[in-house]
Amino acid sequence: MALPAALSAAIASELGAPLEHEQPVFGGDINQSARFQAGGTTYFVKWNSSAPGAMFPAEARGLQLLAQANAVRVPAVIAQRNADGACPAFLVLEWIETGSKRGTGNTMARFGSALAELHRHTAETHGLDHDNFIGRLPQPNPPTPDWATFYRDHRIGFQMAIARKRGRLPSRREDLLTRLMDRLPDLLDDVIPVSLLHGDLWGGNYLIDIRGEAVIIDPAVYYGHREMDLAMSELFGGFSGQFYDAYHTAYPLDGYDERRALYQLYYILVHLNLFGESYGGRVDSIAAHYVGYRR
């Protein structure tokens, strides 16, 4: 597969070498992607002619922030440009040569411990110094001292506004979610560490490299409650038991089981807005549970 000519030329200019051995890479539903060689090194590139101008810069900044934590491996950012004439927006990353698809027990245990170490990187406020994206949807990250306020306004409330515009917020659902948002200060303790998060940590967003090390990709980075990453990791089948055992040994949690579905609600709302009403019933049932929940 040949990359678009303008894209190849732009990447060659960035890397100082012509592109060779281009091959398509499949797996995402937002961007096109490929692997290629330049100057004897293999790289990965994703591109999109209609990407929002902030999308690839935000992803690059998120990967760099995760890399600075030096806890979990991420692909190195090589080059990034926004769309320019015939050249689409693109992001060039280090190519990760993969081994086992999901990893052995020891690999997943090391991954769990590494995620715990990532979560020990903290900040003064929830959010980030820039907004980014979760999938194709914008994700606002205004610095906010109070976690319940951040989760209410910039996670649940923001997705509700998108759902309303897309006709996916019937009156009963809106009523349940509104009542739930009113209850969040009671449901969420605000005295928590403000942890650095991957932000979209499901099974499709990590790889296992040829050394048996986990590599996280496609982040939606911000600072928040670390249980968000764990809740997302359990939403679509979960990771291995060794992963969770190692995480909890390295960084124990208290009361997470009570909040798991509440934090999964954000990601299910995202899926409702991306993929439609097949996720509506789960939104309704979680909201109804917490509206009536007493702790």
The domain segmentation of the chain, as residue ranges, is: 5-94, 105-291
- DSSP per residue over 173-212, as a string? HHHHHHHHHHHHHHHS-S-S--EEE-S--SGGGEEEBTTS
pLDDT(295) > 60: no
Catalytic: 200? yes
Strand extents, DSSP E, the chain: 19-24, 32-38, 41-48, 77-81, 89-94, 132-134, 137-139, 195-197, 206-208, 214-216, 222-224
Q: What CATH architecture is 105-291?
A: Alpha-Beta Complex (3.90)
Distance CA 79, CA 98 (A): 22
- Tell me what pLDDT residue 14 has: 95
Q: Which residue has the higher pLDDT, 25 or 156?
A: 156
Quickly state the pLDDT bin for 6 (edges 50, 70, 90): very high
Task: Look up the CATH superfamily of 5-94.
Answer: Phosphorylase Kinase; domain 1 (3.30.200.20)
- Structure tokens, 284: 């309704």
Distance CA 219, CA 131 (A): 13
Quickly state the pLDDT bin for 51 (edges 50, 70, 90): confident
Q: What is the DSSP letter of 37?
A: E
pLDDT(55) > 70: yes
Q: Do 2 and 19 contact (CB within 8 A), yes or no? A: no
- Tell me what pLDDT residue 253 has: 94
- Tell me what pLDDT residue 293 has: 59
Task: State which amino acid sits at residue 131.
Answer: D
Distance CA 71, CA 54 (A): 26
Tell me what the mean pLDDT of segment 236-265 comes to.
95
Tell me what the mean pLDDT of segment 9-28 comes to.
91
- Beta partners for residue 41, in sequence order: 38
Tell me what the mean pLDDT of segment 266-289 comes to.
97
- Structure tokens, 232: 């997302």
pLDDT(287) > 90: yes
Burial class (CB in 10 A: 0-12, 13-18, 19+), 184: buried
Distance CA 39, CA 19 (A): 8
Q: Do 71 and 115 contact (CB within 8 A), yes or no? A: yes
Quickly state the pLDDT bin for 1 (edges 50, 70, 90): low
Q: Do 168 and 276 contact (CB within 8 A), yes or no? A: yes
pLDDT(190) > 80: no
Residue 45 CA, chain-centre distance (Å), reads 18
Q: Do 82 and 195 contact (CB within 8 A), yes or no? A: no
Query: What are residue 212's phi and psi, to 5 degrees?
Result: 80, 25
- Tell me what pLDDT residue 41 has: 97
Which residue in 129, 200, 218, 254 is the catalytic one? Answer: 200
Give CA angle at 120 (142, 238), nearest 5°: 85
Quickly state the pLDDT bin for 237 (edges 50, 70, 90): confident
- Domains 5-94 and 105-291 in one fold: no
Phi-psi region of 167 (alpha: psi -120 to 50; beta: other; left: phi over 0): left
Contacts 24+ apart (CB under 8 A), 146-152: 146/190, 147/188, 147/189, 147/190, 147/192, 147/194, 147/224, 147/225, 148/184, 148/185, 148/187, 148/188, 148/190, 150/126, 150/224, 151/184, 151/188, 151/224, 151/225, 151/266, 152/181, 152/184
Tell me what the mean pLDDT of segment 10-37 comes to.
91
- Structure tokens, 15: 């890397």
- Tell me what pLDDT residue 245 has: 97
